[in-house]
Amino acid sequence: MRTPFPLPERAAPSPFRRPRALSVVAAVGLAAALALPASPATAAAAESGTAPPVDLGRQVIAPDDGWASWSGDTYPERAQRLAAPTTGGSAASPADVYVAGTWQELRDALAGRASGSQNDARYNTVPRIVYITGTLDPWLRSDGTRTTCDDIAAQITVAGSGAPFSMDDYIAAFGPGVDPSGPLEAARVEAAALQARLTLQHIGSNVTLVGVGDDAHVVGASLRIRDASNVIVRNLSLSDAYDCFPQWDANDAGGNWNSAYDNLSVWTSTSVWIDHNTFGDGDHPAASLDTVYGRPFEVHDGLVDITHGSDLVTMSWNWLQHHDKTDIIGSSDSRLQDRGQHRVTQHHNRWTDIGQRGPRVRFGDVHVYNNLYEQTDATTRGSSEGYDFFQYFWGAGRESSIVAESNAVELIDPASASRIIAGWGGTELSATDTLVNGEIVDVLAAYNAGAAAPLSPAVRWDPADAYAYTLTPVGDVAETVRAGAGAGVLASGTPVATGAPGAFTLSHDSGWDTGLRDGDYRVTADLWWGQNATVVKLYENGTLVGAQSMAGASPAAQRTAFDIAGRTNGTYAYELVALNPHGESRSRKLTVTVTDAAPAIAALSVSGVWTGDVTITANLWWGTNASEYVLFQDGVEIDRQALTTATPNAQRATTSLGALSPGTYEFTAVLSNAAGSTTARPITVTVKG
């Protein structure tokens, strides 16, 4: 029996770290990046012979780079959507550019606000760029301790027993041929829901999610692009989307453990570019799994799954490692609404020691070209008596049409070439120019020779009708893909800096121009020396009030300013967050006190009492001007005038009352502007009979 174990302490993600940065600019269409202005970082890179760092956040997919570059109609869940080439968050305003160095910072950035909900992230359509630095781990608490599977299970009580839920009890209660049900299954579902709140994160529309450097890593989490369009995910290592509470399905091929989480999944989403990422099982590879009920106790689902009517996806230059059910395109045979959807291009990806699904397809027109499929001793070690770890690479499912061109395959057992293709209810598949262990092999003929339902090479579509593409010669595919695929290959970052920006110093000019602290002033930010910023954001009392893009030339100084207007009397604390793809810094807080925003107090005078032509005059000799004057006689408004402001010049308003009846009168005036009102001292006027 398996004993549930806590997730272990995670070591540095060395299997996913690339020791060098190789330029594959031409292959991924980064020509626009090369037009960036020169900077010290660019010049240094040129002298050293390495590629300069590129701001991947502003890049878009190149023309004709597969289905994600295509324009036209798509119908996720049969609802029409007009697709355009994928641009992600490249149009993000400075306020919507983020750096995430923790799991919570990533969640906040995707939601668009601190502690936002999953629905905030899922339905957010504001263009956003999120740079990921370092390792993001949802299991790591803010105090440095780690949440474990047992911590989650302990929060769930099994109905009728009063005992906390345990996977040991779950395993003991069921077995081969028995589908779980009752209180234990209900408790497992509750525990799984708790884990989902911790580790599952939705990504909405118009997002670019990009890792910076060669060690940007999301570990132990599941990212889901859901109900979205126009999304880019690049230069990230995503590993070990670990499921603490997998479900036993006794009716799945004789019984199987099914897990809930993919490292990356695409649900009901369109126009998605997944490029230069590394996917794997991290600390829990297939070889480490226990056997329960005679089947591997599977704690992972797919590495990348594209399902629920998703469409127009390009997967390019990714490295998918050491995983069984790696990549499925299409949810189930029964989802007939997915007809015409699931159009996916996969090119220059590296598939190392996978068991199956490279990919398996339902309904879609899928183009698979210039990929490398390689096996090492790990494929052999993953097999056991009666169970062969390697099943197939290309799975032709219901109503699918796969076009496979110029792919390189390296097999431990050359005889398994007949298993490169598998039939799952499909009727057609084209496979041309497939290099198997250095020789061109007709892998479709090899499959058809023993197939109960052979596949036809006459496919219903031609990729060249959708987009132009050029094949890498198949003899060069293995070397090209090994050199260029995976995270950490692109020289990511920014050409204006090699590290996080220095901290800016804030100053202000409140009161300098007129001597008045009238609520209109400028906050100036200076970075005297150091790594430059590409974006600065100014916060006032914790609220974002301004954001700007910055041109940089590290280590030269940077300066910018924010004009503040219309503040009422009070105290305002300012803080500047400076960021570039490498990280962010915060300035010291600057406090500005506003004392003179409302109009100064006017002085009232009276004339013409003896001549029977009474005039009230309000004089504002110096101070903040008013935009309105109201005169009251014995508490009743008798005059209202709009005033022209010219602070700090004097202001005057007059009201002619004519002759007043004998008696005593009290007059006062209220002067107002957008910041407030002041009341003049009253004057008393006596008219004798």
What is the greatest pairwise CA distance in the chain?
Answer: 125
357 is catalytic: yes
Edge-to-edge strand ranges of the sheet holding 429-432: 97-100, 128-132, 207-211, 229-234, 270-275, 311-316, 344-347, 365-369, 401-405, 429-432
pLDDT in tens, 84-129: 999 999 999 999 999 999 999 999 999 999 999 999 999 999 999 9
- Check 357, 360, 419, 567 and give the catalytic one: 357
User: Looking at domain 603-687, does it have CATH number 3.40.50.300?
Assistant: no
Give me 562's structure tokens: 């924010």
Total residues belonging to the chain: 689
CA 24 to each of CA 30, 311, 619, 682: distance values in angstroms, whole numbers, following the listed order:
9, 26, 73, 79
Q: What pLDDT is attached to residue 100?
A: 98
Please name the residue that has the structure tokens 């003896």.
Answer: 610
pLDDT of residue 199: 97
Asked whether 583 and 133 are in contact (CB, 8 A), the reply is yes
The residues pairing with 651 across neighbouring beta strands, listed in sequence order, are: 620
* Residue 669: half-sphere exposure toward Cβ, Cα within 13 Å: 29
Print burial letters for 577-611: b (CB count within 10 Å at least 16), e (below 16).
bbbbbbbbbebeebebebebbbbbebebeeeebee
Record: fold of 505-594: Immunoglobulin-like (2.60.40)
Numbered ranges of CATH 2.60.40.10 in the chain: 505-594, 603-687
Query: What is the spatial order of strands in the sheet that 521-527 belongs to?
Result: 505-508, 521-527, 558-564
- Domain 56-484 matching CATH 3.40.50.20: the answer reads no
Closest to 434 measured CA to CA, from 413, 417, 453, 454: 417
How does strand 264-267 pair with strand 222-226? Answer: parallel
Check if the beta carbon of residue 120 is closer than 8 Å to that of residue 153.
no
Residue numbers of the chain with a pLDDT score lower than 50: 1-49
Do 509 and 522 form a contact (C-beta atoms < 8 A)?
yes
Give a three-class secondary structure readout of 185-238: HHHHHHHHHHHHHHHEEEECCCEEEEECCCCCEEECCEEEEECCEEEEEECCEE
Residue 372 CB: number of other CB atoms within 10 A?
22
> What b/e readout covers 114-127, taking b as 16+ CB neighbours within 10 angstroms?
eeeebebbbebeeb
